[in-house]
Amino acid sequence: MTSAPINLWIYDLTPTLRFDLSRPAEAARAWDEAHVVSTLQGIVNRAGPRLYVRFVEHAGRNIDDWWLEHLSQPGRWLSQARRQPIAALEQLVNVFRDDIAGVVVYDASIPATSNVASTAAGVENLVAIRLDDSPGSVYDRLVANGPRLPIIRWIADGTAPQTQRPGGMPIVIGKGGSAKCAAYDLARRTLLDAGHCDPRTLAYYIDSHWIYHATAAPANHHTLTNHDYFVARRAFFCDLSCWGDEQPVDDPRQPLGRDLETFKAILQTLHSRSGGQIIHVGGFTPWAFKYTSEPGAGGRRGGVDTEWELVRLASAYNGFIDADAIGHGAMANASFFAHYPLDDHYPQGGLVASDSGAGGPDEEDRDYVMVYVGDYDSAAWLYQRMPDLWEDPRRGEVPLSWAISPVLAERAPMAMAHLWQTRTANDSFIAADNGAGYLNPSMLVEPRPISGLTSGLKAWTEHCREHYRRWDLTNTGFVIDGHTAPMNDAVLDAYETFSPNGVVAQKTSSEAYLHGEMPVLRCGPDIGEADPSEAAASMLRHIRERRGRALRFHWFRTILKSPSWHADALAILRRQDPHIEPVTAPVFFDRLRRALRRSPVD
């Protein structure tokens, strides 16, 4: 790859990770600086890669540094980039002063206004700043003093004097109403309904409620550094509960169901304005902070239940989740990486590893094992963990099926290209849940629960077909049906057009069958033991139980396990039973198809 010389400005946001987040004043400082940097970055990187941020850390390694060095190797994309560090926030603003129109100031007393500010930032090229006129605050440094950025928009309670100034966006709260939902209603009417936002993109990230609960998750989980990509895309931002029968912890006196009603109105508008296209929803249930039964989160349901309900709701309006889940949910620089030049097609081949034909005469006596190596349905998780998991020197020792959502190429294209270009014969790629994005496909067919819309299956099929084509995918490694119905024949017909070599799902009519010529398999268990020998024992118990029912094809899911762990676990498993053969997904599904042709499973 030929690198064009570019000026690469670098800003270090990592000092904010050292603040004492148990103190709201310091958490607010961390929040305010990250919000300014991320909204600014989205604006200045919209037309090209200019500003790079150091922020995300994992296990003692700065992830942003790793990717920057990887992309700067001779012959790679950034090999000729001229790096220029920026030392202070004021300097950062001055360097890019001509790119921004001014500031959108929001009201700390209504946390939802922080997301409205991110929406306005993308639409009007504004930097988002929380109103705090105390000495040394970001507002004091950039608006009251320093660069003295002009205030273009005020987002505040309609009774506040600021909203009476030019640029005011007054939030009018009716009697017994909700300031939170009124803020989003205002943004929906004035920014989304008016056609100023990209209706194919929604950013679902926690609002400034985080400031007073910052220690509930890792320090980077304000996820403000995830905003830059969505600001660049002029996305609509929101943070609302998907439960209509619970009061959200951040707005406990709102009328019951108001959050859900507001959320549905936003999704309906996105669907309408996009013409029924597939909607990219970045973010995830903020389960440590809101809407779940976690301590302090104020809800009655668990994290998985709330995740499944969020996905069900988004799917009803053609939205898929790019699942930046807590744990590894922070990402930086996606607006920068979005300019990485991808090839039109990344082949991975068909049957790989040791299989290229019909197998040996003892094929029917073997138990075939496929390991779904996940979960990479989030650009953030892929970004954070590939530097240690993919780079494991033992990768390639055993057959592994890496479950990567192809839609992650929107925010992490350089990671996708790196994986495909450096795979071994024992590395195959399959689509992660539930295809080209985490969406419940049964919610696309009429009659559609929640939304009542016409079918979205054609839009989903076309969306998936193009992503599968680019990344040479023919298998869907897992369909999480969650709170929805199983895939019916119409949905399976659609999957057969882009995933012809196999689908694994939670809910199937039998353990394994052919839908046309597409193998369909019911999923097996997650294997989460830290000790490889214990993991091997769990797999062996499952295999022997299925073997007793004449089932010889076994699917296991692992989450964030290293190639070394897999190599040890599978080696132990094979020593315990030499009839067990781990294979990659193409081999697994090829042999499953042949076995089902010979002897269908009841």
Dump pLDDT digits (tens) for 366-421: 999 999 999 899 999 999 999 999 999 999 999 999 999 999 999 999 999 999 99
Structure confidence at residue 355 (pLDDT): 47
pLDDT one-digit tens code per residue, 546-589: 998 889 999 999 999 999 999 999 999 999 999 999 999 999 99
Taking 50 as the threshold, does the pLDDT of residue 15 lie above it? yes
Structure confidence at residue 602 (pLDDT): 58
| DSSP for 39-53, written as a single string | HHHHHHTSSS--EEE
Neighbours of 49 (CB within 10 A): 21
Global confidence as pTM: 0.96
pLDDT one-digit tens code per residue, 152-196: 999 988 887 877 777 888 887 765 689 999 999 999 999 999 999
Q: How far is CA 583 from the centre of its chain?
A: 28
- Residue 254: φ, ψ to 5°: -70, 155
The percent helix, strand, coil of the chain (3-state, each to 5) is: 40, 15, 45
Residues 555 and 370: beta-carbon distance below 8 Å: yes
Query: What proportion of the chain, given as a percentage, has pLDDT over 70?
Result: 96
What one-letter code names the amino acid at 396?
G
The mean of the pLDDT values for the chain is 94
Taking 70 as the threshold, does the pLDDT of residue 357 lie above it? no
Give the CB-side neighbour count of residue 403, counting CA atoms within 13 A: 28
d(CA 194, CA 188): 8
d(CA 56, CA 383): 10
Query: What proportion of the chain, given as a percentage, has pLDDT over 90?
Result: 91
What one-letter code names the amino acid at 533?
S
pLDDT one-digit tens code per residue, 245-270: 999 999 999 999 999 999 999 999 99
Quickly list H helices, 365-479: 379-389, 413-422, 457-470
Structure confidence at residue 508 (pLDDT): 95
For residue 452, count CB atoms less than 10 angstroms from its CB and return exposed for 0-12, middle for 13-18, buried for 19 or more.
Answer: exposed
- The DSSP 8-state label assigned to residue 190 in this structure reads I
d(CA 28, CA 132): 10
Length reported for the chain: 602
Mean pLDDT of 270-295: 97
d(CA 203, CA 282): 5
- Smallest CA-to-CA distance from 299 within 287, 311, 307, 309 is with 287
Structure confidence at residue 2 (pLDDT): 53
Enumerate the domain spans of the chain: 7-337, 374-531+585-598
d(CA 149, CA 130): 14
pLDDT one-digit tens code per residue, 115-140: 999 999 999 999 999 999 999 999 99
β-pairing, 61-62 vs 57-58, is antiparallel
d(CA 463, CA 413): 17
Taking 80 as the threshold, does the pLDDT of residue 5 lie above it? no
What one-letter code names the amino acid at 425?
A
pLDDT one-digit tens code per residue, 495-518: 999 999 999 999 999 999 999 999
Of 45-49, 154-158, 290-294, 331-335, the one with minimum mean pLDDT is 154-158
Mean pLDDT of 202-217: 97
- Smallest CA-to-CA distance from 185 within 158, 164, 210 is with 158
Structure confidence at residue 3 (pLDDT): 57
Mean pLDDT of 331-346: 98
Residues 133 and 140: beta-carbon distance below 8 Å: yes
Q: Which CATH class is domain 374-531+585-598?
A: alpha beta
What is the radius of gyration, based on Cα positions, of the chain?
A: 25
